[in-house]
């Protein structure tokens, strides 16, 4: 499926959304999670802001990690990417990230020291 958008007075092709689980994701994603990743990539392609909001326990963290992999694999955008989350979920985010995509590098930054943040 190829989508088209109006750009500068002409129709410009927009790359197809994600049709399969991105390479580098360990385990099998569910169909609705793949739809979420495809939607995130299509919103990225359109330069449209997007928020992935869903009930707890449906895999938003995994969808976000898979979105990063899809950007790397399909759009040749390796990062860096920034995830901002509450301190209460920071440890679980890091565990999930290294579990689902061990070949990507994730760095945790949590400090109140201004000099450390600048570094």
pLDDT, position 3: 47
Q: Domains, the chain, ranges and CATH?
A: 3-118 (3.40.50.10810)
- Spatial distance between the Cα atoms of 96 and 27, rounded to a whole number of angstroms: 12
Give yes or no for residue 11 having a pLDDT over 70: no
pLDDT, position 63: 92
Q: 60-114, pLDDT tens digit by residue?
A: 889 999 999 999 888 888 888 888 888 888 888 899 989 998 888 888 887 777 7
Give yes or no for residue 26 having a pLDDT over 60: yes
Q: 39-67, pLDDT tens digit by residue?
A: 999 899 889 988 888 888 888 889 999 99
- For residue 64, give the nearest of 94, 80, 40, 29 by alpha carbon: 40
Mind giving me the DSSP string for 61-111? HHHHHHHHHHHHHHH-----------HHHHHHHHHHHHHH-TTS-------
pLDDT, position 85: 84
Give pTM, 2 decimals: 0.76
């Amino acid at each position: 499926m190829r989508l088209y958008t109006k750009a500068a007075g002409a129709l410009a092709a927009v790359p197809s959304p994600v049709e399969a689980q991105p390479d580098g994701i360990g385990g099998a994603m569910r169909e609705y999670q793949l739809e979420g990743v495809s939607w995130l990539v299509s919103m990225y392609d359109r330069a449209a802001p997007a928020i992935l909001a869903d009930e707890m326990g449906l895999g938003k963290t995994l969808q976000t990690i898979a979105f990063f992999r899809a950007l790397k694999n399909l759009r040749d955008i390796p990062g860096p990417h920034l995830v901002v989350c509450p301190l209460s979920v920071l440890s679980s985010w890091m565990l999930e990230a290294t579990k689902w995509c061990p070949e990507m590098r994730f760095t945790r930054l949590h400090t109140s020291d201004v000099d450390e943040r600048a570094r």
